[in-house]
Amino acid sequence: MTSFLEKWSAKKSDKPKAGTRSAVDAFRARVAEQKAYLTEFESDAAGFNKWRSTWFQRAPGGFGVTIGRDSIDAGHGLSYVVVETTTQVAEFLDDLAQHADQDVSFQKALEENRSRRAALLNNGKAKTKAPAAKAATRKPVTVKATQASQVPGEAAAEKPKRGRKPKA
């Protein structure tokens, strides 16, 4: 135990806090994740099942590629392209990451998008917490106890379960 502490105590540090990456760094990480999905798709196109997470989808004529799932564009309204091959998808993702690194207006759009999403998330959290606070101020509800009638086991088993109505 002491050798463990001696070895690692000098490297002790605080954990990085969530959200400390810049919007550009986070975007770059998402582009890298998309490239990993693309590599996975290229290795096994038939078995690929992560379409809900990808920025690229099959489209007439090849692949449609969006710039994330957010309402941002890469300038002049460019937010979706259709390319013919997975190589072009990879090239688009590379160019998009480089664009994020070099274009100040795109970096600003990423920061604004992050702020907008954070505000929506915080508003959503505030709305879910508000009803709980209101419930605490209400008068307690009294419940009258009533005796339940005994149902024989067979009658209870015959009773249909709630669910969808059969189609006619």
Lookup result for tokens 């508003």: 123
Query: Which 3-state string (H, E, C) describes 84-146?
Result: CCHHHHHHHHHHHHHHHHHCHHHHHHHHHHHHHHHHHHHHHHHHHHHHHHHHHHCCCCCCCCC
Residue 159's pLDDT is what?
59
CA distance 26 to 76: 22
Q: Assign 82 to helix, strand or coil.
A: strand
> For residue 29, what pLDDT band results from cuts at 50, 70 and 90?
very high
Whether 81 contacts 12, CB under 8 Å: no
Q: What is the mean pLDDT of residues 70-99?
A: 90
State both tokens at 20: 């400390």
* pLDDT surpasses 90 at 97: yes
Q: Assign 73 to helix, strand or coil.
A: coil
> For residue 17, what pLDDT band results from cuts at 50, 70 and 90?
confident
* pLDDT surpasses 90 at 115: no
> For residue 4, what pLDDT band results from cuts at 50, 70 and 90?
confident
Q: How far apart are the first and last CA of the chain?
A: 71
Percent of the chain topping pLDDT 90: 39
Lookup result for tokens 């001696």: 6
